[in-house]
Every structure is written in C-alpha cells, then in structure tokens.
Structure 1
Amino acid sequence: MENIERNKWQSNWLMFLGVLLFLFGLIIGLFVPMMANPRMGLTAHLEGVMNGMFLVILGLIWNKLFINDKWLSITFWLTLYGSFANFSAVIIAAISGAGKLMPIAGGKEGTTFIEGLISFLLITLSLAMIFICIVVLLGLYRNLKRT
C-alpha cells in the first residue's frame, strides 16, 4: 500500500510542478524583448511551456508504469532535474547572451563560468531526459505485456 501512495504522491507532484513550470514559461515570454538575446528568450519561453506539459503528461501516465520503486524514484527526480535544468540553462543563456552550445538560438560565447554552467546543465539534462524516456518506455511496455 505504501508504494501506491508514493506513486500517487509522485504523480501529483509531477502535475503540480508541470503547471508551475508552464506558468514560468508563460511569464518568461513577457520579458523576451528585454533579454540580451531575445531569440534565446523565446527558446526559454518554449522550453518552460513544453517541459511543463511534459511533466503534466508524465504525471497523468505515472501510474501506468510497471517498474520497480527504485527506478521509479530515480526517474521521478531525474525528470524534475531535467525539466527545470533545461528551463534554467536557457534562461541563463537568454539573460547573459551566452550559450555557444546553442548557436541556432543565437548564443554567443560568454564568460568561462557562465559557459561552464550552461554546458553542464545542457549535457546533464540531455542524458537525464534520454534515460527518462527509455525507462518510461520500458515501464509502459511492461505494463502492456501485463494486460
């Protein structure tokens, strides 16, 4: 019974934080013209909205994942990290004008510290999100095989 309660708690938090991130994305959209790199600001707006929707959708399907509690917990925390790190990295890049790893969004080279921070966030969140998608797909597949 404890596992069911934990899954429900995780599901509810994913949905709540998803709507919160969605709201942050909307608010950032209001400030796009004021940023050092408005194109990156638009990217931040879109990342907030899309990652917010991802969290809400994941929260809605969370109880359909058939994976053990350890992997479910790891996936939960990595999902929160990946979603908010994505949003944060792009906001930092938009405000500072840095972000050489994102040249399509017009990122220029910034200070060593800012570039290191943005690069760290982008690389780790990318790995986290790939891991999350694999675990979620496996959990959904295992659920399909059960029925």
Structure 2
Amino acid sequence: MQAIGRRLLWHGMLLFLLGLLTGLAEQHFSNIRMGLAAHLEGLMNGIFLLALGGCWEHVRLSTGLERAAFISLLAGTYGNWATTTLAAVLGTAAMSPITAANHAAPAWQELLVTSGFVSVGVLMLASTGLVLWGLRR
C-alpha cells in the first residue's frame, strides 16, 4: 500500500506543476476565464492527490479495488485538468456557462468537451466512493 501512496504523491506534485504552467499560459487561451479554471483544476487536483498520498496507508481495499481506485483517481484528476484546458483552448461553452460567457465553438468541439467533463465526473465519483469505502474501518 505504501507504493501507491508514494505514487499518488508523485502524481500530485506533477499535476500541481502542470497547474502552475497552465497559469503561465492563461492569457494565450481562447477563453481566458476557462484558462484560469484549468490553472486552478491542476493546482486543486494536485493537492487532492497529495492529500490522498499522505493518508493512503489508512485505505483498506482489496488489491483489485485498490488498483481501480488508483487508476480512476489518476484518470479523473488528470482528465479534469486536461478537459478544462482543452475547453480553454477551444473556447467551448460546454457545461461551464459562467466561465464561458460569450464563447461558443463548433458542435463537435462542444460535444468533445462535454463528454470529457461527464467522464471526469463519473471517474471522480467512483474513485471517491472507493476511497471512502476503504476508509470506513
């Protein structure tokens, strides 16, 4: 279990770095507000992984569920940052009416970003549920 905790710490720092770098590029996105959101998603999801890495020794799951939690955590957190960054680059308004005011993109781009956000939502709910299950005792 310690190996997964350490890997979560590493990925947390990498995602935090990606969030910082996204903040440096913020002014170059089609939708600057969404660029700010992508910057914050990188930072917050990185911190989330760091927190989980720090307490992972207390998560009690079978090997299969532990692996599923790890994979869904990484896919959800990186996917959240990547989808939000993609939305900033494309200037889509999908599922983010406040940050996308006065922005719209072709329908296929809106669908791509919407699919990304829905997938991220499912992954994060699943991974959080697994971690909660593992912390129950």
Which of 124, 129, 132 lines up with 1:129 in the alignment?
A: 124
CA distance in 2, matches of 1:135, 1:20: 23
What is the deviation of 1:111?
2.2
1:16-55 deviation per Cα after TM superposition (whole angstroms, max 9, x unaligned): 0110110110111111122111100000000000000011
Which of 94, 99, 108 lines up with 1:100 in the alignment?
A: 94
Which moves more between the two structures, 98-107 or 37-46? 98-107
Pairs within 5 Å for 1:29-48 = 29-48=23-42
What is the deviation of 1:109?
2.9
Task: Please state whether the residue corresponding to 1:98 is helix, strand or coil.
Answer: coil
Task: Please state whether the residue corresponding to 2:133 is helix, strand or coil.
Answer: helix
State the one-letter code of the partner of 1:139.
G
What is the deviation of 1:15?
0.6
1:58 aligns with 52
CA distance in 2, matches of 1:36, 1:45: 14
What is the deviation of 1:12?
1.3
Q: TM-score, normalised by structure 2?
A: 0.93
What is the deviation of 1:112?
3.1
1:87 aligns with 81
Task: Please state whether the residue corresponding to 2:136 is helix, strand or coil.
Answer: helix
1:74-109 deviation per Cα after TM superposition (whole angstroms, max 9, x unaligned): 000000000011001110111111132111111633
Gaps of 5+ in 1: 1-6, 143-147
8 Å CA contact retained: 2:94, 2:113: no
Which moves more between the two structures, 16-25 or 102-111? 102-111
1:20 aligns with 14
CA distance in 1, matches of 2:57, 2:116: 29
> Is the radius of gyration larger for structure 1 or structure 2?
1
Task: Please state whether the residue corresponding to 1:31 is helix, strand or coil.
Answer: helix
Task: Please state whether the residue corresponding to 1:30 is helix, strand or coil.
Answer: helix
Structure 1 vs Structure 2 CA RMSD: 1.3
What is the deviation of 1:122?
0.6
Which moves more between the two structures, 100-109 or 81-90? 100-109
- How many residue pairs match? The answer is 136
